[in-house]
Structure 1
């Protein structure tokens, strides 16, 4: 050991620099614990039915939207949890239902404020030809080996019952819907028509953007 090198105890050093032992050890231990904090287990993205079938969170969101559009308009997340368990046989807790309701912005206080976008039932229409009424819907598939879901979005002409355009992917957002709808309009040469097809959806979460339902005009914005 170098003779010029001198070692001092922690207590002596702390006394010289004027720092208490409790402050020193608190800061030291705090930094160590801070590094050990876990970010938590990510949400699986699905719930399980009583028969063992996995149901995607996006499908559960559609269930919730259907319920509040009908008899469950005044239900809170606790009551909606009971409905999901009883009606759809889901094994789900109220904390997850609260989270999904919050993502959809349909918790009771927020829903009471949203008066500018009332949910309306689609009216019956008489169609006489193609490109008058299109339908869009999303189906979910489960990938067994990867424990995840994929989405299939289809746009169908109600008159001729043909699939005009579709999208398939591991996620499905409002942006994907707008791009798919734009391709469908180009394919049917409706992009420059003054009167474009009416789009009917099931009011799922993918068909909403900034709290309101996507209109056909919004794809050009």
Structure 2
């Protein structure tokens, strides 16, 4: 149901969509091919405060919206994009979620968190690992979409306290998060379409190998057909051995 929930949230984030549960139910069946009933749609939306009368009562969160489609980045680790991708686990017939943080300048994958469900606390935990592992600048920018895990007050407050500027893409504009979307496309082709996973642990082990290959070996057209590791070395960044984990 996590996948259905994200589809509902994505739909309701559209600028002019004011659907109640019944129109949402029809949309899921007709446009997404999801076999979910009207009552189950209602229950799902009510549980997560997504019904029309509930949404009208929610306090709007102030967000720093994206101003430039393509960010102007001049140095490593100064502009990051992060997002969540769903991956099907064949052995358990369920979806896993992968949260990934990507450096736009070098395309270096700074961290990933994998679980059946990712919460706001997991976003903070992954950023804590990034701060502990990498020589991050005093201030940098992160860009993300409007997922509930990212817009949560605790995440916004955490990043603000760390001196991080958080940008939100506008609804239904994946091109504003193009680098992480491109990474997901690469991951889909190189990993998801080539392997069947027995369970979550099997997927995690595969993704650990993938992360190391992506950062240290995979050549990237956007970097002049060299790997992120070689690109960072060319600009004078010393690769710390702990970055391999």
TM-score bracket relative to the smaller structure: 0.5 to 0.7
Counterparts in 2 of 1:153-164, with a 5 A limit?
A: 153-164=99-110
Change (3 A) 1:63 1:149: closer
CA distance in 2, matches of 1:165, 1:219: 20
- Quote the residue 1:67 is aligned against: 11
Change (3 A) 1:120 1:111: farther
Q: In structure 2, list runs of 5 or more residues that go unmatched.
A: 163-245
CA distance in 2, matches of 1:120, 1:102: 28
CA distance in 1, matches of 2:5, 2:88: 17
* Alpha-carbon shift at residue 75 of structure 1 (Å): 0.9
Change (3 A) 1:198 1:101: farther
- Quote the residue 1:214 is aligned against: 155
- Quote the residue 1:172 is aligned against: 118
* 2:53 aligned with 1:109: yes
Change (3 A) 1:70 1:90: same
- Quote the residue 2:172 is aligned against: none
Q: Which of 30, 55, 78 does residue 86 from structure 1 map onto?
A: 30
Q: In structure 1, list runs of 5 or more residues that go unmatched.
A: 1-56
- Quote the residue 2:82 is aligned against: 136
CA distance in 1, matches of 2:4, 2:67: 25
1:70-117 Cα distance to aligned partner (Å, 9 max, x none): 155311111111111222121111222223323332211121122431
Matched position secondary structure for 1:90: coil
* Alpha-carbon shift at residue 154 of structure 1 (Å): 0.8
* Alpha-carbon shift at residue 119 of structure 1 (Å): 7.0
Q: Mark the structure with the bigger radius of gyration.
A: 1
Matched position secondary structure for 1:198: strand
Give the number of the structure whose residues are more often strand, by fraction. 1
TM-score after normalising by structure 1: 0.62
Give the number of equivalent residue pairs. Answer: 160
Give the number of the structure whose residues are more often helix, by fraction. 2
* Alpha-carbon shift at residue 156 of structure 1 (Å): 0.7
- Quote the residue 1:205 is aligned against: 148
* Alpha-carbon shift at residue 201 of structure 1 (Å): 2.0
Q: CA RMSD in A?
A: 2.7
